[in-house]
Amino acid sequence: MIKMPSLISNCLKCLTFAQLRHFSKSRLPVITTDPFQNVSEVIDVRSPNEYNKDHIPGAINLPVLSNLERHEVGKIYSQDSFRGRIYGAELVTKNISHIIHEFMMEKPQDYSPLIYCWRGGQRSYSVAVVMAQIGFDVYILQKGYKSYRAKIKEYLNEQPNKFTFNILSGPTGSGKTFLLSQLSALGEQVLDLEGLANHKGSVLGGEINGSQPSQSWFDSLIVEKLRSFRPDKVVWMESESIRIGNIYVPRVLHGEMGKSQHFQIILPLKERVQHILQDYQEYIDNFQFTKEQLLKLKKHYSGSKVCDWIALGENQRWQEFVESLLTEHYDPKYRLSQRKIFQSPATELFLESLDPEHVQPFLQKLIRFPPGSLSTEIKDTMSA
């Protein structure tokens, strides 16, 4: 008995260019330059490695060539382009039959996907023309991922200044990320750069069990968030250096941050220590990882100072460990970074603790003030 994928593959191999010329124009894919077109689904037909580095958010990966197959085709193509095309066509038709059998058999007739590959369009068109002949309304992204990436760069260069940002600043342990999450829960627009970067933005900021996204994927995530926001409504962010771990905040966005209204959270040192002990629990449970990160500070401090920090941790004197790191490392570094980022002084706002009875009234007062309206009088009101 012939398996369905094999039957479809054999049918595809029987199609000739002469036959394709007789296809109805209404059954040919439509070329579009809009990567954000409203469609049923976005399909990335590149290899898994290409997809994992960056893709249009929400796109599914249906590769017409696997990582190994793409490498093999490229190797043959570099030696003999004609033979490379033949081998590539054999693999692509086989994989298209698999895609149709596994993913398209239950799609409704009004299914309308956007398909893209890297740039040339050969991989995307090979899938799109077959799907169009089935009867789906298919779109192909002109110049593929390369054009999408160009759109992302264009957006990040031109659109950040269309938004009004309010920035939460404050030394490490002030609960800035926590406050952002609470603002989001209240319906405020929040751009959590550290969350998107999978990094807390400090020497101990790397996630123990995770890795950071590529720079291009980080950019894509930022654009996806900004496109979901209303420009006439404030966007809340946390103060960040230009670099978060191994990736960078887009230049124009970071510049807008420096020009924006910013509020420095003043939380008592004791409360900051307690918040860090809760927020960084995994770094306490995995102190060997933490120790390795601390050793990186030897280029900034004497070896004895770093050894003192490590000794406090190894002896589980966590309160002293955190307080010493804050007062001797994080706070001085933070004050220096803020002078580099912002063009005007911060509005300092006192917050007694991060308990709900203090946080909720604080946030309610904060979000009621129009952009740019904070003054000394308002500052005193919120600190009361």
Write out pLDDT tens, residues 285-303.
Answer: 999 989 998 998 888 887 7
The closest of 167, 249, 168, 160 to 201, measured between CA atoms, is 249
Secondary structure letter of residue 208 according to DSSP: T
Neighbours of 69 (CB within 10 A): 19
The proportion of the chain whose per-residue pLDDT surpasses 70, expressed as a percent, equals 87
What whole-number distance in Å separates Cα of residue 347 and Cα of residue 384? 14
Tell me the backbone φ, ψ of residue 244, rounded to 5 degrees: -120, 100
- Contacts of range 254-259, beta carbons closer than 8 Å, 24 or more positions apart: 254/341, 255/160, 256/160, 256/161, 256/163, 256/165, 257/165, 257/167, 257/341, 258/341, 258/342, 258/343, 259/343
The closest of 114, 369, 110, 131 to 263, measured between CA atoms, is 369
pLDDT band for position 206 (cuts 50, 70, 90):
low
Q: Specify which residues 265 forms β-bridges with.
A: 349
- Contacts of range 298-306, beta carbons closer than 8 Å, 24 or more positions apart: 301/329
Q: What is the pLDDT of residue 383?
A: 44
Asked whether residue 81 carries a pLDDT value surpassing 50, the answer given is yes
Tokens 């109805």 -> residue: 24
Task: Dig out the tokens for 304 from the structure.
Answer: 């004895």
SS3 321: helix
Q: Is 269 exposed, middle or buried (0-12, 13-18, 19+ CB in 10 A)?
A: middle
The closest of 222, 219, 162 to 192, measured between CA atoms, is 222
What whole-number distance in Å separates Cα of residue 195 and Cα of residue 181? 10
Asked whether residue 152 carries a pLDDT value surpassing 70, the answer given is yes
Tokens 């209204």 -> residue: 261
State pLDDT tens for residues 23-77. 444 578 999 999 999 999 999 999 999 999 999 999 999 999 999 999 999 999 9
Q: Give yes or no for a contact between 119 and 145, defined as CB atoms under 8 angstroms apart.
A: yes
Higher pLDDT, 207 or 87: 87
Q: Specify which residues 168 forms β-bridges with.
A: 238, 263
The average confidence (pLDDT) of the chain is 89
pLDDT band for position 200 (cuts 50, 70, 90):
confident
What whole-number distance in Å separates Cα of residue 304 and Cα of residue 313? 14
* Average pLDDT for 1-24: 48
The closest of 148, 142, 119 to 59, measured between CA atoms, is 148
pLDDT band for position 270 (cuts 50, 70, 90):
very high
Asked whether residue 15 carries a pLDDT value surpassing 60, the answer given is no
Least confidently predicted of 127-131, 199-203, 374-378: 374-378
Q: What is the pLDDT of residue 370?
A: 64
